[in-house]
Amino acid sequence: MNHEQELYEIILHAGNARAIAYEALDAAEAFDFAKAEELVKQAEEVLNEAHKAQTKLIQAELNGKAGEKTLLMIHAQDHLMTAMSEQKLIERLIRLVKKLKTP
């Protein structure tokens, strides 16, 4: 896989993980915590795929095979970091909704 394809892989997986995480939040808002927890797990798995792609790029750079620093690379990194932050925030919001629902 070439450098650009790896960047697209990061963007794709990060975006999918983010969408799944928001589905989990929607499920929690509907008090369907079983579905929310399953979706959180799915989001984590997909986010892990994005992180693996990022790790490949980092390892390549450490081995002297760095790709060109482009706007696409910055976008991919930004997309991944945003997805990771939102994932953690959504997990916390789901715990909060669960606490509020529980008497």
Q: Concatenated DSSP letters for 18-72?
A: HHHHHHHHHHHHTT-HHHHHHHHHHHHHHHHHHHHHHHHHHHHHHTT-PPP--HH
Selected catalytic residue, list 3, 13, 51, 75: 75
Binding residues for Mg(2+): 78
Residue 65's pLDDT band, with cuts at 50, 70 and 90, is confident
75 is catalytic: yes
* Total residues belonging to the chain: 103
Binding residues: 78
* Overall number of domains in the chain: 1
Note if the pTM is more than 0.95: no
Q: Is 92 exposed, middle or buried (0-12, 13-18, 19+ CB in 10 A)?
A: exposed
Instruction: Give yes or no for residue 68 having a pLDDT over 90.
Output: no
* CATH at 14: 1.20.58.80
Instruction: Give yes or no for residue 67 having a pLDDT over 80.
Output: no
Mean pLDDT on 43-60: 93
**Structural domain boundaries enclosing 58:** 3-101
